[in-house]
């Protein structure tokens, strides 16, 4: 047989033959049991999440009051300097202006520091609740024999049948487990 005929014969024999997966390699599972969970709702609606939010709001209010007091004090000093400026020597005026500029910089640094404190605290609380919620989602997934659970958010899952949403179950189970 010519080389051309041999190639044609081999192709004809293999056409339509399905090659089985390699030994030990599992065929991909058919995706049948799927759910979604809205983690943001879990963070906001669980009792622990609500308590964390209140704590953050208290910390924010306390920090804001502290900043407002310092800002008010600085503004008072600025007004005082403006009233006394005509009576001060140039050197004394420059010295007091420099001091106020340092206080302004300190106030800005304090504001950034307090803002970072709030952000760090929020991240820590969010991570803590997220880890606990993930374990509960895993338990529900095992009980329901779910193959995959997607996190539903504005930028992740565009549409999911509402019957697939297990968020309420996660919130109830979370509150029951973490009182």
What pairs with residue 37 in β-bridges? Answer: 151
- Give the total residue count for the chain: 179
Per-residue pLDDT tens over the stretch 134-149: 999 999 999 999 999 9
∠ CA 148-153-157, rounded to 5°: 55
pTM score: 0.70
Q: Residue 49, Cβ neighbours under 10 Å: how many?
A: 21
Per-residue pLDDT tens over the stretch 55-112: 999 999 999 999 999 999 999 999 999 999 899 899 999 999 999 999 999 999 999 9
- Please report the domains of the chain, with CATH numbers, ordered by start residue: 27-177 (3.30.910.20)
């Amino acid at each position: 047989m010519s080389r051309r005929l041999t190639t044609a014969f081999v192709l004809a024999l293999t056409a339509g033959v399905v090659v089985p997966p390699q030994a030990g390699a599992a065929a991909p599972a058919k995706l049948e049991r799927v759910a979604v969970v809205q983690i943001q709702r879990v963070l906001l609606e669980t009792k622990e999440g609500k308590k964390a939010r209140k704590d953050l709001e208290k910390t924010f209010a306390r920090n804001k009051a502290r900043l407002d007091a310092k800002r008010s004090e600085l503004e008072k000093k600025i007004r005082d300097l403006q009233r006394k400026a005509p009576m001060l020597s140039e050197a004394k005026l420059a010295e007091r202006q420099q001091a106020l500029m340092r206080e302004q910089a300190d106030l800005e640094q304090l504001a950034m520091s307090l803002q970072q404190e709030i952000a760090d605290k929020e991240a820590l609380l969010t991570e803590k609740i997220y880890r606990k919620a993930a374990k509960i989602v895993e338990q529900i997934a095992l009980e329901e024999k779910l193959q995959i659970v997607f996190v539903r958010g504005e930028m992740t899952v565009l549409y999911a049948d509402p019957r697939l949403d297990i968020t309420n179950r996660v919130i109830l189970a979370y509150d029951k487990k973490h009182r």
